[in-house]
Chain A
């Protein structure tokens, strides 16, 4: 029953942000273009009876021809779940940062930047979080080459007496 209420709100929101609504395993999925993401997230946060006001997770996905950011929204006041997907260009993925809506997006966006090279506009400290700063490439992209690269083959000569 609650799902019907949520479904109505999500449909309304989708028409405002040019989105498409799908359903997967009982969870509503709202697909939008990256430019509409802030409107979509604020809209979902302010649903009247079933607010999706808790940023549960944020991650990047490489689907081959484009890059997506997937937001899993939930709420501390009910069981509702909503998945928002923002689609971006594969070569130059840029999206607005969600840190001004939820401070908790900070590390998650840094991780998505680290692994997929997604640039979050307006992020307070967009640096790599797991890999070291001068690491090249974005490991979770499908076009990342996992063969050992030359740089890593550092030859260490044994010093006399060591």
Chain B
């Protein structure tokens, strides 16, 4: 007797799961091995950052921003301190601006390396993972030289930078920049140029341009869908208008382009850092800011191009030392909305790959 009845299978992936990049749970509805629906369940890492901010002073909140997207912590510091500076009308010294660009772009490279590594790892590409992490160590070393910590660096202050990079930082940076083209070739050679990797990623999880615009997707995921949009070009903040760089755009709309575009972005970041190192002036790294940060009454919104998308801060101030409302616009939280839509109809192993190419960091998703 043959039974031809199929039954929907509900599979819980996470919160503790090797491919979930943190504490993330999704309930996957399956027909056989094909995904019919996904319900992401968030909040396992929710620390109430926005509520915490209301009882901290403006300076006290800087270390908290490290814990948002902890793979690119200087970038989160940057977004936050720039928002407060905009609110207070502080002009920061030239040297500090250049140092911010250098650390911001280093963070972008480190973050993209983790994305490349974990995408490979999620498809059992162990060796590609170790290559990318080996190279990321060098960026962590540069953080350590300057700020003393390797992951949550807390390197920026309202009005400038916390520390001047030591002597040995510059040769380390130079040798890292020189080695990067070879590194990228290695990643490509060991994994992404591989036929199996291409088979797993190419034409999988199509996110069209219209869908991306409608779903408020930002960052590399948006640019891999053929939209030429980068805040650094469209609405330049800091000193990005002084550098000559391109915005990589790919039109594949699939998992492969969402990963490979990060390699293109590393090349552009290298260009920016090289120009910044060439042009960096001397001088102080901190502006004269009052001891007690007391912005005027008002509200300000500021967005920057985080490695994972647009990170925005919206601060409402009532003129006291603590913000009335501090809103964080987390890029990957919004990008995550595409997962149930895009993964529908694919097999369960493709869901893992699609999720990896989103480069979600749960510290930022759950705030």
Contact = CB atoms under 8 A, between A and B. Distances in A.
Given A56-B329, A79-B234, A107-B334, A24 B300 contact: yes
A112 to B, nearest CB: 10
A139 B366 CA distance: 15
Interface stretch (A10-18, A35-43, A86-94, A128-136): A128-136
Interface in B307-332: 310, 312, 314, 316, 324-325, 327, 329
Interface string B35-49: 000000011001010
Given A27-B301, A108-B334, A130-B42, A140 B314 contact: no
A132 to B, nearest CB: 7
B215 A104 contact: yes
Given A57-B314, A72-B329, A76-B227, A25 B300 contact: yes
Nearest to B303: A56
Contacts of B235: 79, 81
A20 interface: no
Contact of A129 (B43, B213, B217, B312): B43
A62 B326 CA distance: 11
A122 interface: no
B213 A54 contact: yes
A130 B336 CA distance: 14
A118 B301 CA distance: 22
Interface of A: 24-25, 27, 53-57, 59, 61-63, 70, 72, 74, 76, 78-79, 81, 83, 102-108, 111, 115, 129-132, 139-140, 146
B299 interface: yes
A83 to B, nearest CB: 7
B43 A78 contact: no
Interface residues of B, number: 37
Given A103-B337, A139-B48, A140-B51, A81 B216 contact: no
B194 interface: no
Given A57-B314, A72-B314, A25 B216 contact: no
Contact of A139 (B51, B299, B301, B336): B51
B234 A104 contact: no
Contact of A140 (B50, B227, B310): B50
Contacts of A74: 303
Nearest to A53: B213
A108 B336 CA distance: 11
Given A25-B298, A70-B327, A81-B235, 6 more contacts: A54-B216, A56-B312, A59-B314, A72-B312, A79-B235, A103-B215
Contacts of A53: 213
Contacts, number: 86
Given A61-B325, A62-B325, A131-B43, A103 B300 contact: no
3 closest A-B pairs (Cβ-Cβ)? A104-B216, A130-B43, A79-B235
A107 B333 CA distance: 8
Contacts of A146: 51
B133 interface: no
Given A56-B312, A72-B314, A131-B43, A102 B366 contact: no
Nearest to B333: A107
B228 to A, nearest CB: 8
B81 to A, nearest CB: 16
Nearest to A115: B50
A72 B217 CA distance: 14
A159 to B, nearest CB: 24
B194 to A, nearest CB: 33
Contacts of B43: 129-132
B229 interface: yes
Contacts of B324: 63
A83 B301 contact: yes
B51 A81 contact: no
A24 B337 contact: no
26 contacts: A24-B298, A24-B300, A25-B87, A53-B213, A55-B216, A56-B303, A56-B329, A57-B301, A57-B312, A59-B314, A59-B329, A61-B327, A62-B325, A79-B234, A79-B235, A81-B235, A81-B301, A83-B301, A102-B215, A103-B215, A103-B337, A104-B337, A129-B42, A129-B43, A130-B46, A132-B43
